[in-house]
Chains A and B, each alone.
Chain A
Amino acid sequence: MSSYPSTNLRVQILRDERSRTRTNSIDPAEAEKEDPIDPLTAACRARYAQFEKTIAAIFPSGRPCCATELTVHELLGIEEPNDDEIDTLLPNGVSKDGEKATPVIRARRAEEDDDYDMDEEEDEAPPPPVQKPRSPIPPTIQISSPDRTKSPSGKDSATVTREKLEADKKAAEDAAKLSFSTMFYTLESDRDAMLEQQKLDESDRQVNAETNAQGAPGKLSNANLGASSLTLKHLIARIDAKRERVAVSDMELRNLMSEVKKNRSKWASEDKVGQEELYEAAEKVVLELRAQTEHSTAFLNRVNKREAPDYFNIIKQPMDLGTVMKKLKQLAYKSKKEFIDDLNLIWQNCLQYNAEPKHYLRKHAIAMQKMTQNLIPLIPDITIRDRAEVEAEEAGAHDQDADAESDDEPIMSSRMNRKAPGTSKSKKGGAKPVRTESTPEAKPPTLNIQGVPDIKARDSPVPGHILAETSGLGSQNGFGSPALAHTPSNGIVSTLDLDPTIEKYEVDDDLDPEYKIWKTMTKKARARAASERHKLFRGTKINLDEPALIRTRVGMGRYIRSELAHGDKDAITKDIKAPLAVAVEERAEEEDDLLPNYYKILDGVPELPYNLQWLGDDEDEIDRYNDNLHLAPKGVFTQPQTGLARNMDSNMKIMQDTRKICHKIGVIKQMQVQTQVYNNQFAKYDPQEFVEKEPEDFLVSEDGPVYSEEVNRAAFQRSIAKIFYHAGFEDFQPTAFDLVTDIATSFFKKIGQTVMLYSEAVLPTGRFAPDEILLHTLAENGLEIDALESYIRDDVERLGGKLVQLNERMRAHLADLLRPALNDVENPEAAEEDMRHFVNGDFTDDIGDDYYGFKDLGLEREFGMSISSGLMRVLQTRINSNYQAQSAINPAVPHTEYKAPPPFEPLSRDILKDQIGLVQNFFLAKLHANGDEPLIEDEDLPIKQRAPKPRLPPTGKITTPRKRPVSGQGGNSKKKKRPNPPPPVATKPPPAGSTAIIAPTATPPLSEENNGSVPKFEEKDMDNTPGMMSPESIMAV
């Protein structure tokens, strides 16, 4: 919901400097005044005009619209009017001038004027006054008072003024448009326009916010909704009921309402007479003033105390455009006078505060003031009155005239009255009669404003007076004569009385008038264009989040129209013609912006010749030509299967396999030392085979390398990762990875650059041969062929051999580790067979019933925890217990000449008597407790039943026995230290820490029996200490 009136409306009232100057120059009196002042300027202008035309003559465009009508003699400066009009139009004063040049400029101006007039007439409001086109009456202003009053539609003079302003505006606009085709304006002022526009928007928002902040949401029905309140009664009641739920301000609601009821403005009020008209006009004036961003910027918002600390000492009554707008929205003005007073107060304040004559703000203030004067006639001179009051008066009048209608219900009648002006939105016609009838104040504008143009035309140096005049209230009614303008009137005038000289000096703008027109006319559009352009960039980079620029049918149509207008039919190729023929017809419903074509580059972009053809705005209307876009070939991003790559792949496969075996070994080792394993103890290790994936299908438009940094980098990284893995890294830090990628990228870039250099280099004998280029490149980049070769030989091929070797050894190792689990079977040979399958994890059907009956007990399966935990435990116990046993037996194995002592006979009553007497009683008690069953050695007990073994510290002192059950390998070695009741006689304590040396447990009876052999055994043991420690000896078993 914009608070601006539609562009057209704004345009109507916009008035620019140009039309003023023109008016001045046309006016004979003015001309007389002006000409003597600057003959030089006139001469220059003449020269300028000549050159302008010369350009056209020298560079004929061949387009009818741009063709110059100048002939050579004109170029030579010989005045030969080719048009009657010029003669007729020549002002009287001009002929007096002796200079040759001035007529030319006059002529030109007159031409211009004439054009404008014509435009005016064409564009004029619905009932066009019947005037001959190109009538010799040049200035509209002059004819305005007499002609317009006569016009059939009975327009009052306010309307006339408005129309005139509108027409001027339109004329300027057209002039500007015309100049677009001949003039190129640089874009440098766009940014300023944008910033100013932004400021304006901000002030707008602020005003809105402030207005909204005022008070809680009121009842809509209480608000002034004018006539709409009847028709929309229910809606309004509804909204009122739910008011607190609606998160919009009263103002916004009102705006909404007025939009719904098109014929009534938001200012319309039920019981305020004249409010609508007054406020409508006033708002437009304020908006217009604000839109003059060149000057108005300083006046948009309240003066900040921080900016000017002493401001409020000097200015007692601060005012600004924002406040005026706010007051408008709060309906704080009762009359035109109040409103204009406020406006003038702004400029006045500024002039007062910035008293220094050369202050830059003065210039702006005065410019604004002038603008205000120009706009004031647009405001009807109305004092808002309560309807009741008016009706009372009316009733009085009616009573006097005719008593008949007096009994009508007041509201309805008033509504009828109020509706009348609303229905005809054009602000003329119907409304006026009512007002003139009903309010005495309605008359003054007619007279007053009639006079204005004259006044203005005559004495532009003293605008204050006019202002005083026009802003005068009913007191000056009836003084329509120009003479009145010079009569200083009461009160207000004094405040506005300005020194004309200062004004003249300050208002003087050094800008080229054409450029000024350009600036004012296109400001808003340029601001928008600039801000759109601005959005496309973020910092110095293109903003990727912005939506794409897309040509529109309308824009292209416009472009083609403009091309057609130039008669350049060739510019439109046949291709475009067909689809766009429609577009050309489709006139853009609103052509709001006045920007020349070079602001809309997009529209002028020619059709793409092929590949893509644009058929319309819809997505699927883009046609793809299959022969141009095709699927990218496969294998661009994958490694070709060459010898090296194959070698590396197979190496990696072996490495994975070996790693898997390593994992199994680790698991088995864990099983050996742990008494209990859990299903979830071992993470599954199942490496996947390396597969290079292709990217998804994509289209390319041409052959050659695919430029996609991300994908290329990813593919490169994949190769690097492969090399990493090949070099033995199982995983790596991403940062290191990235770093290597970067370095490698840079290296390959250098290689590429070197190749480029050598392939471009020219020798006296010709160019480098390809192999020369390659060799040079390698040498330049520090690569020797030998090094490359040795890399492939040593680090790929030989590595492969080593890996295979290692893999085999790993397998063998695993087999060795697994053997004990299968060993306690009667026929180890058969077990050997099966074991291999077991190790390899491939129990296959050809074996039939497999060894343990675990049909599918592959190791992988097992580690994948797919078998029941029971089986797992069985395997574990086997491995574990066998490991214990094996490690106990192992040391003796190298010395096969010494047989392992036979297991001890369980102690039973039969052999008890052979024991020494001291312990007989002890054992007897034990036996008795055991129910006369033979006693089992501690070591033979199931692990869990074993008593915790006390450990003898190095000090030899026995402290509290440890509760932890000793298990595994460590426990075995400690057994030796256990203080057996009868310590073995000849046993030397083994070297501490040599866990591998475990002598068979010597229990008292046996150690006594085998007394002879033990020392020898120990001795031998000692002798071979280093050999025993080496794992090879274990392997040699």
Chain B
Amino acid sequence: MANDRFKYKLEIQQMMFVSGETGEPSPETTGIIEDIVRGQVIEMLIQATAQAARRGSRSISTDDLIFLIRHDKAKVSRLRTYLSWKEVRKTAKDQDRDVDTADLVEDSAAGDALKMRQKRAKISLPWEVASYFSEQPPEVDDEDDEEEAEANVATLARLKSADERTKSMTKDEYVHFSECRQASFTFRKSKRFREWAGFGLVTDAKPNDDIVDILGFLTFEIVQVLTEEALRIKDAEDKLQTSNKENDKKRKRDRFLFDGPGEGRTPVEPRHIEEAFRRLQRPRAKSKAMRNFEGGGVMKTRVGLM
């Protein structure tokens, strides 16, 4: 029964694997992650809907969603990259249909990339400088944005760690890894996702494709953040345990040839996830500041978006 409730066991496992969890997490773990992710998605939808209503619109737009995570600049930047490439992919696909594959092979990779780059639509956000003004100058294609470069730092770090992990992988392992990297809550599962996130209930039943994509992107991020945090917690815990163990039983130290295999790394457990969630939900000083001196020790808070 419980298993029926969870629809993304596999995807979450894959995502966790990508995020660094090597063991096989139990269904309870994935279940709890799924619940958390779902709560986050619903919260996001509710807030975005409210935001849209403030604009006077009934359906949410991508801007509303991005607005929710606007403070996480790295994430916004990644999301924009994601979206712009998505655009490129789409147009490329259209063209691929017309242009022969032979041509594609013919073309030099560099030229292709240049072409892509040129067509990469810029995702502009309403709170950016360009929207300060009534007229939009035509786009110039100058290499810009320290901002992007900055955002790339985080991405690059991630890529690097992935690279580190994959360095020693065999070919099969690498294939598995890259398959896992494609895991998504939404990719080719749009309908399932919509039902799962309660689209008809919380907001419009028919969301924009982009919105589903953004949510897919964000859900992956959530799982990743959760897993990373949980792993950190578990590491600390393990370290503590081993140090305790060392103190307790010194004799265990010696290992012999015919000893059984050493204890493998245990997977992340639900309590780790819970702890990670708790840590991520800890209210920030920023949100408490206005309650200082007003006796606002206990406050009702919403779920914090991760």
Which residues of A line the B interface, CB within 8 A?
655, 658-659, 661-663, 665-666, 669, 728, 743, 746-747, 750, 753-754, 779-784, 794, 798-799, 802-803, 806, 809-810, 812-813, 1026, 1031-1032, 1034-1035
Contact = CB atoms under 8 A, between A and B. Distances in A.
B139 A750 contact: no
A802 B127 CA distance: 13
Interface in B107-129: 118-119, 127, 129
B133 A658 contact: yes
A812 B285 contact: no
17 contacts: A659-B134, A662-B134, A666-B135, A669-B135, A728-B131, A746-B290, A747-B289, A750-B292, A781-B292, A782-B285, A784-B285, A794-B147, A803-B129, A806-B130, A806-B133, A809-B140, A810-B137
Contacts of A728: 127, 129, 131-132
A663 B133 CA distance: 9
Given A754-B292, A782-B284, A1026-B91, A810 B135 contact: yes
B289 A750 contact: yes
B147 A810 contact: no
Contacts of B138: 809, 813, 1031-1032, 1034-1035
A799 B127 CA distance: 12
Main secondary structure of the interface of B (DSSP, over half): helix
B171 interface: no
B293 interface: yes
A661 B135 CA distance: 9
A607 to B, nearest CB: 42
B146 interface: yes
Given A747-B289, A1031-B138, 14 more contacts: A659-B133, A750-B289, A753-B293, A779-B285, A780-B292, A781-B292, A782-B284, A794-B73, A799-B129, A809-B138, A809-B140, A1026-B119, A1031-B139, A1032-B141
Interface residues of B, number: 28
B285 A662 contact: no
Interface in B262-306: 284-290, 292-293
Nearest to A725: B132
Contacts of B287: 782
B290 A747 contact: yes
Contact of B135 (A662, A746, A781): A662
B134 A781 contact: no
Contacts of A1032: 118, 138-139, 141
A235 B173 CA distance: 127
B56 to A, nearest CB: 15
Interface in B141-182: 141, 146-147
Nearest to B127: A728
A357 B22 CA distance: 105
A798 B147 contact: yes
A1032 B147 CA distance: 23
Given A798-B147, A799-B129, A806-B129, A781 B137 contact: no
Interface of B: 73, 91, 118-119, 127, 129-135, 137-141, 146-147, 284-290, 292-293
Nearest to B141: A1032
Contacts of A794: 73, 147
Contacts of A750: 289-290, 292-293
Which of B127, B290, B292, B293: most chain A Cβ within 10 A? B292
Contacts of A753: 292-293
Contacts of A1026: 91, 119
B290 A810 contact: no
A802 B129 contact: yes
A805 B285 CA distance: 36
A1026 B87 CA distance: 13
Contact of B137 (A659, A783, A806): A806
A753 B73 CA distance: 32
Contacts of B131: 728
A743 to B, nearest CB: 8
Contacts of A798: 146-147
- Which 9 interchain pairs have the tightest Cβ spacing? A782-B286, A782-B289, A782-B285, A728-B132, A809-B137, A662-B135, A813-B137, A1031-B138, A781-B289
Contacts of A665: 135
Nearest to A659: B133
Contacts of B140: 809, 1035
A803 to B, nearest CB: 6
A666 B134 CA distance: 8
A782 B138 CA distance: 40
Contacts of B292: 750, 753-754, 780-781
Nearest to A750: B292
Contacts of A655: 132
Contacts of B286: 782-783
B48 to A, nearest CB: 22
A1031 B285 CA distance: 46
Contacts of A1031: 138-139
Nearest to A664: B135
A783 B134 CA distance: 34
Contacts of A666: 134-135
B80 to A, nearest CB: 16
- Scoring B131, B141, B293 by chain A CB atoms within 10 A of each residue's CB, the highest score goes to B293
Contacts of B289: 747, 750, 780-783
A428 B218 CA distance: 111
A781 to B, nearest CB: 4
Contacts of A669: 135
A805 to B, nearest CB: 8
A754 B131 CA distance: 38
A753 B294 CA distance: 12
Contacts of A803: 129
A747 B138 CA distance: 41
Contacts of B137: 806, 809-810, 812-813
Contacts of A659: 133-134
Contacts of A813: 135, 137-138
A356 B285 CA distance: 77
B282 to A, nearest CB: 13
A420 to B, nearest CB: 85
Contacts of B135: 661-662, 665-666, 669, 810, 813
